[in-house]
Structure 1
């Protein structure tokens, strides 16, 4: 339906924002009361084919969604996720036997090597891919341009909330990645150059693939960016050198998430570290 939209968010107050702005408008805002889980990785589509009837990976594209049956129960499946890996998300309705379906997915998934992990287990892939977390990497104090999402703004539209402010705002990106040589940056800490505060860490973790700390940073202005070497406080209580970098940190063409590259790395690919110049 062209006039129906579904927004999925892990956390935040967007629902209240929608309700507040819906006053005097011909629109209905409601919580569909669904619960979501995600299955991610190179064999995720194989699993989906095994547990549903008549499904083929070739039937849909990245970010499509379908209503499919698992154990004779209708569920909504979207080709999406928060890891930038090939995968899908399943939305359970209140009438679904959630535990029964979930146990079935886990049972069939184990045959393909699937394991159950919590959010920290895939946080590094989210950060490395540059997938922003609402309330963390973008907030009420940022705008789409400053966090690299300006391409989604269409000023040709007659009107929308915030249009006037966005038209006069700075259009340059201030959100980048960071790699830290010998530690994991502390989220919320400032990043500095020559003792001068130039921004802060909005997301951070350790990357077992790149063998370094990785994070997302929001800079105070456009004077700094990829290639700049900074000082940042890490979880060991010490300051370590880090380097601002572009996002995503690898797979810039999105071949992994689209299933064009399903090779699972057998060994890490360590970041070579900060380049020094004489």
Structure 2
């Protein structure tokens, strides 16, 4: 573990009995009391996540808006100040560099929140595409901690530590300079679990105190720390993608079923031509949900079969804790994407029956 990077909350994870693993070079807890228990805690009460490994890049300058608008697939012109947007960065061939959140503070000031495993690659990509834009990019990942509190009791718990009226912060909005337990924070209300909740961006120096104060404030409201394992099962049930699974350099947003976040009618963005061509010619494969009929748990990378041939691969699979079913997401040939289509999953040497179902496994409980 000596070579792994530690977040500002590493001691807190040790204190709570977190099982530490290597995640993209970071020493992070995969679980504390157990993935299923933590999953249900978030669904029913609230869970506290250390997501300090995520990347943050500031974009500032006279042409910050123009740069970001060209960089991402979604339409940044729809954002009000202090609003947040989910989107993709694509390569010219339509493959995905990363999925990210765009925070707009004003037309000349943005924050891009990117995946931990992609920070260096993403920042290099942004730098390569500055061109003549009058902007400055700053990778502030190394000086920023991030805590996420997620679950139906998240607002009640966080409200104990701030005078800010959290009920006035809408879904996919943010606010800067919020005092939480004496720390100056940026907070947002987005979530990666299917539940309501907040993200708290703050300095490394303040992170452990805020974490401890949140744990104390949430003691009687069921709050517990949650690890990466539950984070993955929660996002999977809510059909939210994970880079390297549902989305990658070899998968386009259209194939992954996220065409809503690709605005082909906006003036231009990197990858637009390739995605327009793909839409015009029609998809050859697509991401689907599936449910196991035979007994077996599908896993990432397993082959999907039909009619005696391989038709795709599993991107994520689990025994879903909330649904109590063995389900998965898979990228399959377009002829096998209709609901109720029979398919098979190759689990080791066994070929097991499954069927295509709606990807909306879990009804999301976000703030409206």
The two structures have a TM-score, normalised by structure 1, of: 0.83
CA distance in 1, matches of 2:148, 2:349: 34
| Aligned position for 1:190 | 303
Shift of 1:78: 1.0
- Would you tell me which structure has more helix in proportion to its own residues? 2
Q: 1 or 2 for the larger relative contact order (CA 8 Å, sep ≥6)? A: 2
Whether contact under 8 Å (2:291, 2:356) holds in the other structure is yes
Confirm whether residue 203 of structure 1 aligns to residue 308 of structure 2.
Answer: no
CA distance in 2, matches of 1:14, 1:211: 37
Describe the shift of the 1:203–1:7 C-alpha distance in structure 2 as closer, same or farther (beyond 3 A). farther
Confirm whether residue 19 of structure 1 aligns to residue 127 of structure 2.
Answer: yes
Whether contact under 8 Å (2:305, 2:346) holds in the other structure is no
Q: Which structure 1 residue ranges, 5 or more long, are not aligned? A: 260-278
- How many residue pairs align between the two structures? 253
Q: What does the per-residue CA deviation read over 1:178-229, in whole Å, with 9 as the maximum and x for residues that have no partner?
A: 2224222121111111321111111122212222222221123354333222
CA distance in 2, matches of 1:99, 1:29: 28
CA distance in 2, matches of 1:159, 1:21: 14
Whether contact under 8 Å (1:48, 1:55) holds in the other structure is no
Describe the shift of the 1:18–1:117 C-alpha distance in structure 2 as closer, same or farther (beyond 3 A). same
Shift of 1:237: 6.0
| Aligned position for 1:109 | 218
| Aligned position for 2:238 | 129
The root-mean-square deviation of aligned C-alpha atoms, in Å, is 2.1
| 3-state SS, counterpart of residue 185 of structure 1 | coil
Pick which of 83-92 and 165-174 moved more. Answer: 165-174
- Would you tell me which structure has more strand in proportion to its own residues? 2
Pick which of 221-230 and 175-184 moved more. Answer: 221-230
Shift of 1:56: 3.4
The two structures have a TM-score, normalised by structure 2, of: 0.64
CA distance in 2, matches of 1:159, 1:196: 40
